């Protein structure tokens, strides 16, 4: 196959992916490929499994194309995808960013991006915090049903980290419900006095919450943005990561 034929084959598969089901006549018209050339290309693509034909002779994407797409998704690890988005968010907001996952009733920081402030938080990659006292935790718990949350917290004391922390299951369920509905949780000094955290969920291609992203805003540094603006920036970044891993 020549380079020109290879380019045409790739364009054919791409066009079919966007417009399936599509007929040979439509492909010829949209790609301006001679009938004889298209016939040869379709023969190769059908035989290799990149394209399939239905009973009407219209074309769709084949299993082989799906397998390649799935392999690409598998290669795009969450850390690889999330790091540049988190770095960009922190650069834009000049606030500290985190990525966290849920384990039991704790959140675990799996990524941290510092800003250029001299003030440093005690958060660190690998550190655990109780989910009930963090914005990350409430967002991650939002992927569970209230019954699942109740079972998970059976016999667990909701000890406060600060005077603002949630200390009852009823209050936790209410706050988790708000996070679930809004796609965002705001922790105003619940885990660290003087720090407001904004968190949003990261959704994978199976529509499951696999992590959450947050920024921690140090209140004494007179943040330039409003609560609504911080909320939207965090949601946008989480949605971008979700999109890049095939979810959202």
According to the model, what pLDDT value does residue 119 have?
A: 46
According to the model, what pLDDT value does residue 78 have?
A: 80
44 and 90 fall within a common domain = no
48 and 137 fall within a common domain = no
60 and 103 fall within a common domain = no
Identify the sign of the CA torsion 174, 180, 182, 188. positive
Give the residue numbers spanning the domain of 144: 76-244
pLDDT surpasses 70 at 118: no
* For residues 9-32, average pLDDT: 82
106 and 19 fall within a common domain = no
Identify the sign of the CA torsion 202, 208, 211, 216. positive
Inter-CA distances, 104 with 151, 168, 214, Å: 11, 17, 19
Q: What is the CATH number of the domain that holds 24?
A: 1.10.10.10
According to the model, what pLDDT value does residue 248 have?
A: 65
The burial of 126, by beta-carbon neighbours within 10 Å (0-12 exposed, 13-18 middle, 19 or more buried), is given as exposed
56 and 171 fall within a common domain = no
Highest mean pLDDT among 53-67, 114-128, 177-191: 177-191
Highest mean pLDDT among 25-34, 117-126, 137-146, 206-215: 137-146
pLDDT surpasses 90 at 148: yes
42 and 131 fall within a common domain = no
Task: Convert the pLDDT of each residue in 154-190 to its tens digit.
Answer: 999 999 999 999 999 999 999 999 999 999 999 998 9
18 and 105 fall within a common domain = no
For the chain, the average pLDDT equals 85
Q: Structural domain tally of the chain?
A: 2
- Closest CA relative to residue 69, chosen from 217, 219, 245: 245
Q: What is the CATH number of the domain that holds 108?
A: 3.30.450.40
**Rounded Cα–Cα distance for residues 248 and 242 (Å):** 5
Q: What DSSP character marks residue 167?
A: -
* For residues 86-102, average pLDDT: 88
118 and 38 fall within a common domain = no
Q: Note the residue count of the chain.
A: 248
53 and 104 fall within a common domain = no
pLDDT surpasses 80 at 131: yes
According to the model, what pLDDT value does residue 167 have?
A: 93
Residues whose CB is less than 8 angstroms from the CB of residue 61 and which lie 6 or more positions away in sequence, other chains included: 13, 16, 17, 20, 50, 51, 52
Q: Which of 73, 103, 123 is a domain's end point?
A: 73
**Rounded Cα–Cα distance for residues 136 and 201 (Å):** 8
197 and 131 fall within a common domain = yes
* For residues 129-139, average pLDDT: 94
- Measured in whole angstroms, the distance separating CA 188 from the mean position of its chain's CA atoms is 24
- Two tokens, residue 7: 């380019």
**Using an 8 Å Cβ cutoff, are 19 and 26 in contact?**
yes
Q: Which of 73, 96, 131 is a domain's end point?
A: 73
According to the model, what pLDDT value does residue 212 have?
A: 94
pLDDT surpasses 80 at 216: yes
81 and 65 fall within a common domain = no
84 and 19 fall within a common domain = no
- The three-class DSSP label of residue 195 is strand
Q: Which of 73, 88, 120 is a domain's end point?
A: 73
């Amino acid at each position: 196959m020549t380079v020109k034929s290879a380019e045409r084959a790739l364009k054919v598969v791409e066009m079919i992916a966007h417009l399936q089901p599509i007929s040979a006549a439509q492909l010829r018209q949209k790609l301006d490929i001679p009938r004889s050339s298209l016939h040869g290309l379709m023969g190769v693509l059908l035989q290799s499994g990149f394209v399939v034909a239905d009973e009407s002779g219209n074309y769709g994407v084949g299993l082989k194309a799906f397998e390649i797409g799935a392999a690409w998704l598998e290669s795009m690890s969450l850390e690889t995808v999330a790091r540049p988005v988190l770095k960009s968010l922190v650069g834009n907001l000049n606030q500290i960013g985190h990525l966290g996952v849920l384990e039991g009733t704790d959140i675990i920081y799996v990524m941290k991006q510092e800003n250029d402030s001299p003030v440093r938080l005690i958060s660190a990659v690998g550190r655990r915090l109780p989910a009930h006292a963090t914005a990350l935790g409430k967002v991650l718990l939002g992927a569970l049903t209230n019954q699942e949350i109740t079972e998970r917290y059976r016999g667990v004391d909701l000890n406060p980290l600060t005077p603002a922390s949630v200390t009852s299951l009823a209050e936790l369920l209410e706050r988790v419900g708000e996070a679930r509905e809004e796609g965002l949780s705001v922790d105003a000094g619940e885990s660290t006095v003087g720090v407001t955290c904004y968190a949003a969920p990261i959704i994978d291609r199976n529509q499951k919450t696999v992590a959450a992203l947050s920024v921690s805003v140090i209140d004494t540094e007179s943040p330039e943005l409003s609560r609504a603006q911080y909320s939207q920036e965090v949601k946008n970044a989480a949605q971008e990561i979700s999109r890049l891993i095939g979810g959202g």
